[in-house]
A and B are shown apart, each in its own frame.
Chain A
Amino acid sequence: MIGGLFIYNHKGEVLISRVYRDDIGRNAVDAFRVNVIHARQQVRSPVTNIARTSFFHVKRSNIWLAAVTKQNVNAAMVFEFLYKMCDVMTAYFGKISEENIKNNFVLIYELLDEILDFGYPQNSETGALKTFITQQGIKSQPQTKEEQSQITSQVTGQIGWRREGIKYRRNELFLDVLESVNLLMSPQGQVLSAHVSGRVVMKSYLSGMPECKFGMNDKIVIDKQGKAGASDEAGKSSGKQSIAIDDCTFHQCVRLSKFDSERSISFIPPDGEYELMRYRTTKDIILPFRVIPLVREVGRTKLEVKVVIKSNFKPSLLAQKIEVRIPTPLNTSGVQVICMKGKAKYKASENAIVWKIKRMAGMKESQISAEIELLPTNDKKKWARPPISMNFEVPFAPSGLKVRYLKVFESKLNYSDHDVIKWVRYIGRSGIYETRC
């Protein structure tokens, strides 16, 4: 279990230090600073072992969060906790920065006391935490006994993520499917590896204790229904209509037993925003863009680059925030760029040409050509030719995931599924989207 938790700024100064177990001493603080933050070589591994002590760290902008333990803990659990803690802090005071941390010093210690007990993670649901850890100092009017007991029963009860007696005039529900698509493509256009990792994020403003049921075009479910239903439809339903999900994880509110037996996702949602599920797919991915690179070396002092991007989705949809990053050799001495659309610029500090396009419709193509002048060097080393990477945002799910239904049942209060206003949105973003050149 986690023995201690430290937060450092970029210089390695300790901002927050909370030790949960006696086996972690103050010297652990210095060990991490010396061996990781100030290490000569940049430390890439998120887990570092120093003198039989394990350090798990994540970095948010210039802030290092490190969990320390001497025991053999579940590393995935520790990282899950660290990410959760980042979420909690963001929910409380916004961006994680040195200044914000210094300003919310007391709050963070209070949070740390609550979400970790003797190194064991506790309830880290922001909604629940916000009921009893408040930002505005001590309320002038102390909480009533009733309120306090309500909080206690919620936190200790079976449904720790939702309190009773919530009432909304408008029952609303927002559902976002956020996906990031990762790709590595050979110069000839052959897919070397591709996968999509997606999240379903919900925001619910529902009264009472509603029971929700979420359905999507999961291949297993569709196939099962197809078999159960009319056999003539079976051929149609499989195919493009359904997707194969490689693995998925759920928010704690989802009833896993039901998912295991019926593969249906049913839950009592927390109030406010939360992440319902995460999933990953690797088959039948729709690649929104194709990058066609053409690099030609003209002698030792010149390089000609031509890159064509093609959008590969319905013409009615618009991709946004498109950015193509074309790496340049380390001995570049000058760059001339011509592009038909958007803006392109040579960024010396990043050793790359960055080409930005605001919007682009589907089934279009665009081209950039650049002439790179090189300085002759003594090194005989050849340029390693890093891949061309790309960023974008598209309004559909590249995995092909579709929300089929989201039903809300609330038996005690008198509103039905039809009264709930539901919003569904799909956003596909680029993860590591690279093409070798």
Chain B
Amino acid sequence: MPAVSKGDGMRGLAVFISDIRNCKSKEAEIKRINKELANIRSKFKGDKALDGYSKKKYVCKLLFIFLLGHDIDFGHMEAVNLLSSNKYTEKQIGYLFISVLVNSNSELIRLINNAIKNDLSSRNPTFMCLALHCIANVGSREMAEAFAGEIPRILVAGDTMDSVKQSAALCLLRLYKTSPDLVLMGEWTSRVVHLLNDQHMGVVTAAISLITCLSQKNPDEFKTCVSLAVSRLSRIVSSASTDLQDYTYYFVPAPWLSCKLLRLLQCYPPPEDGAVKGRLVECLETILNKAQEPPKSKKVQHSNAKNAILFEAIALIIHYDSEPNLLVRACNQLGQFLQHRETNLRYLALESMCTLASSEFSHEAVKTHIETVINALKTERDVSVRQRAADLLYAMCDRSNAKQIVAEMLSYLETADYSIREEMVLKVAILAEKYAVDYSWYVDTILNLIRIAGDYVSEEVWYRVIQIVINRDDVQGYAAKTVFEALQAPACHENMVKVGGYILGEFGNLIAGDPRSSPLVQFNLLHSKFHLCSVPTRALLLSAYIKFINLFPETKSTIQEVLRCDSQIRNSDVELQQRAVEYLKLSSIASTDVLATVLEEMPPFPERESSILAKLKKKKGPGAVSAGELEEGKREGGEVNGAERPGDNAAIASTPSPSADLLGLRSAAPVSAAPVSAGSLLVDVFSEAGPAASTAGVNDDGFLSCSSALSSAPPSVVSEDPAPPLPESDELLNKFVCKNNGVLFENQLLQIGIKSEYRQNLGRMYLFYGNKTSVQFVSFSTTLNVQLKPVDPLVEGGAQVQQVINIECLSDFSDAPLLNIKFRYGGALQNLSLKLPVTINKFFQPTEMSSHDFFQRWKQLSQPQQEAQKIFKANHPMDTEVLKAKLLGLGTALLDNVDPNPENFVCAGVIQTKAQQIGCLLRLEPNAQAQMYRLTLRSSKDTVAKRLCELLSEQF
């Protein structure tokens, strides 16, 4: 390209810039710029034509002012004019201005595109390059639209200069990155791939970036590039350092190109063609061999270039993961780098080894470097290198070296950088658990972990310890002993107190035989930590105390004393106060049998994926922990979304427990297993366990779950028993089988209206309680045999209150939930029980199907228990339109032209429950003369068919 000659410099510009630089203050600078802008404006006014030189000079000044941070809103036209100049420098400034200041101004873009088009077709290589650079710099969508078709042609044309080809390849890459949908290679693909064979190394280097990017998106189309790349690579690798002349960098032939070729190959699996593969392996071996040769130069650039190729080659070897020989050699090579003087090399070696460690071929080879890595962890100055060393240790850990590695990591933790401590803690916890042969070792390790880095031990870690201790009988005694010893330290971390409190509360009896750890000693030890702990820990300790009462009756009086003291029983924290009061009452009233039942030892926890691992994954982002490490735990099947078993309504206890979502399960169950919240010790640690225990094996007949719109505390327990359901409630229920809105109940005092909507297995019901009298209802309350959000206890005369119920259908059911309403009208207590009009058909989803489909499915459901049939007399006049409306209101799809007899009605639908989807087919055959119907229902579940049949027979 023509160099800018000395005489071509713009004096005015230089003066202006030096003026600006000499300005003493911001104000002076702004003044100078304003003056210059006014000058340029007067020059651009258009009175007289400017010559190219001054135009260029002023555009340059504008550019400079813009780069100083001032707005430029004119001069674009002059810049565009410069584009059509024939002088290189003028054109260049024009393009520069456009690249920096272009905005999507439609008229200008058209002019610019026109100028670019002219330059692209000019055959002058420097002009073409300028135009291509401008396109690449702007890279806007408009540009892509205008030139995406043109550039590939320039790229592959035979007569294009090499330099233009390079620019075209990179320009295309840029356009592809910004708007991939517009750059369609199509017919050019093979010719672009063949650029790899180009004579000119620069073109190959530019083209390979493009090909790598394109082949990542559609690897199949560019498959042919593999063999070409391999042959190119082998030519470079085998060439002597002098062969490539310009492209030899400090005695290394074409290092950038080699790296890019290796990277391209990493987009594809190992070549299938034996010859190609052989050649590639040969190349990789050569690269590894070259690394062993003494350096040709002492310059750092030489070794950098050489190592860059080597690391790319190792990355490729790891990517292929099929050549044990190469993998081991790579590992050895990296092992050498581990002791290299260069910190960067050590870092890269550790990083690459991490990936090597996960390969089965090289895992053993990596393990030989364990001493070096541990040393690196201890002595590296740079924290990022230490971090990599820790990663590698984690990756290379297996059963054989787990103890050593965990011990090293633990000792490193004491001095580790704060930023990586939490991750280290998680890693130690995971390794300890995963490779624990001996669970006493595991308990020791985790307790050590809490001692060393208590602040960084997240909740999940100590939950996991407890989970494991509870599930393993053999370590419980040891755990209790160790914890007891650990707690004797004058200063314990709070997490240690939590673990200690929990374990001693459960298994304190196992060590109580020793006089040094007699029950009272244990209790005093725990209680000595009590006052230093936060509220949740104290709550846990209180639960531990009540467990003590059960385990060691002799401590009862001491503990009752503690519970009775003002700081517990009148604690300002509601949770603590409640626990103290309840536990005190429980311990003084309940007999030992009741106590023993309530405070029984925790049942083992279900096995599932370690929550710690999940946490680490979350911390490191997806993909950081390889899939092989994940032990997919089975999730508990029955989710209990805040539901209580029907009939359990007396047990709606008043414990709004802090339902910590400890194990990452979505079980925000309000806990109320026992009359008092004795079970909340369980809940503290595994919130899921409480309700799971109480509802285990319940779901066989299926039940409906309703949860209040807000999970606030349920209303206080009502003393009177709910009245038995009204005799007419079944009838009321039937009114709502085919409709969703209406009046549910009405007497002279009260009117209850209903508005409901359903979608799939979810529903929402609005209950409107209207007071028909002029006197207010006092202490108005409603209870469902599931729980409800409380309604306003006062209903003014003539007023209406609203209540919202959210409904979720867990599985099919037959009995509607009961709604109990109580209020005082005047002095008299009114007590009403109604069936809530929630029937199984509310969860129908209509299904449209053809006649053929219908009968095919009808036949599939041919087993006798899948069908329910009923012949009954019509209660209402037989009106086709009314029938149709009723069937549609049922929620099914009414299928026309299915049944050969046009009198008959045929419907199909799917009942959505949380557990499953139940398909239902329905056929209603009216007999006008006999005023009779025959109703046939077929369903994949027998209970559903029966229930629906019962429901529907009342409707017609």
A residues within 8 Å of B by Cβ? 10, 42, 62, 330-334, 348-351, 373, 375-379, 381
Contacts and interface: CB of A to CB of B under 8 A. Distances in A.
Given A42-B26, A378-B105, A348 B45 contact: no
Contacts of B41: 331-333, 375
B35 interface: yes
A377 B73 contact: yes
B47 to A, nearest CB: 9
B543 to A, nearest CB: 44
Interface in B617-632: none
A334 B45 CA distance: 8
B31 interface: yes
B26 A349 contact: no
A351 B37 CA distance: 10
Contacts of A348: 34-35, 37-39
A248 to B, nearest CB: 34
A349 B20 CA distance: 13
Q: Which of B34, B38, B39, B74 has the most CB of A within 10 A?
A: B38
Contacts of B103: 378
Contact of A350 (B25, B31, B39, B105): B31
Contacts of B45: 333-334, 373, 375
Interface in B54-78: 73-74, 76
A349 B38 CA distance: 8
Contact of B34 (A333, A351, A381): A351
Contacts of B42: 333-334
Interface string B15-30: 0000000001110000
Interface in B629-648: none
B108 interface: yes
6 contacts: A62-B25, A333-B41, A348-B37, A349-B38, A375-B44, A378-B108
B329 interface: no
Given A334-B42, A349-B35, A378 B25 contact: no
A422 B74 CA distance: 62
Given A10-B25, A333-B42, A375 B74 contact: yes
A332 B38 contact: yes
Contacts of B32: 349
A62 B34 contact: no
Contacts of A349: 31-32, 34-35, 38
A377 B62 CA distance: 14
A379 B75 CA distance: 12
Nearest to A328: B38
A62 B29 CA distance: 13
B74 A378 contact: yes
A14 B128 CA distance: 54
Residue of B35, B41, B45, B76 contacting most chain A CB atoms (<10 Å): B41
Contacts of A330: 37, 73
Nearest to B108: A378
Contacts of A62: 24-25
A381 B74 CA distance: 13
Contacts of A376: 74
A259 B727 CA distance: 92
A378 B76 contact: yes
Nearest to B35: A349
Interface in B765-808: none
6 interchain residue pairs of minimum CB distance? A348-B38, A349-B31, A349-B35, A333-B41, A379-B73, A377-B73
Nearest to B41: A333
A352 B831 CA distance: 86
Interface in B424-441: none
Interface residues of B, number: 20
Contacts of B35: 348-349
B20 to A, nearest CB: 13
Given A332-B41, A333-B42, 10 more contacts: A10-B25, A42-B26, A62-B24, A332-B38, A333-B44, A334-B42, A349-B31, A349-B32, A375-B45, A377-B74
B110 to A, nearest CB: 14
Nearest to B38: A348
B73 A331 contact: yes
A330 B30 CA distance: 13
Given A350-B31, A378-B108, A10 B76 contact: no
B31 to A, nearest CB: 4
Nearest to A375: B41
Contacts of B44: 333, 375
Contacts of B74: 331, 375-378
Interface string B740-765: 00000000000000000000000000
Contacts of B38: 332-333, 348-349, 351
Instruction: From A332, A378, A381, name the one whose CB has the most chain B CB atoms within 10 angstroms.
Output: A378
Contacts of A381: 73
Contacts of A373: 45
Contacts of B31: 349-350
B344 to A, nearest CB: 32
Contacts of A350: 31, 34
A402 to B, nearest CB: 40
Nearest to B34: A349
Nearest to B31: A349
A332 B40 CA distance: 10
A190 B281 CA distance: 90
Nearest to B103: A378
Contacts of B26: 42
- Of B37, B76, B103, most buried by chain A (CB within 10 Å of CB) is B37
A379 B41 CA distance: 15
Nearest to B45: A333
B391 to A, nearest CB: 36
Nearest to B26: A42
A416 B37 CA distance: 66
Nearest to A59: B25
Contacts of A334: 42, 45
A348 B35 CA distance: 5
A242 B42 CA distance: 54
Nearest to B32: A349
B12 to A, nearest CB: 16
A373 B44 CA distance: 12
B46 to A, nearest CB: 8
Nearest to A351: B34
A331 B62 CA distance: 13
A215 to B, nearest CB: 44
A434 B103 CA distance: 37
A350 B44 CA distance: 20
A378 B73 contact: yes
Interface in B99-119: 103, 105, 108
Nearest to B74: A377
Contacts of A351: 34, 38
B97 to A, nearest CB: 13
Q: Taking each of A333, A334, A381, which has the highest tally of chain B beta carbons within 10 Å of its own beta carbon?
A: A333
B256 to A, nearest CB: 37
A381 to B, nearest CB: 8
B57 to A, nearest CB: 17
A377 B78 CA distance: 12
Contacts of B24: 10, 62
A378 B32 CA distance: 23
A10 B73 CA distance: 30
A378 B108 CA distance: 10
Contacts of B73: 330-331, 377-379, 381
A348 B103 CA distance: 27
Q: Which of B42, B44, B103, B108 has the most CB of A within 10 A?
A: B42
Contacts of B39: 348
A375 B58 CA distance: 15
B491 to A, nearest CB: 32
Contacts of B25: 10, 62
Interface in B358-416: none
Contacts of A332: 38, 41
A282 B210 CA distance: 73
Contacts of A378: 73-74, 76, 103, 105, 108
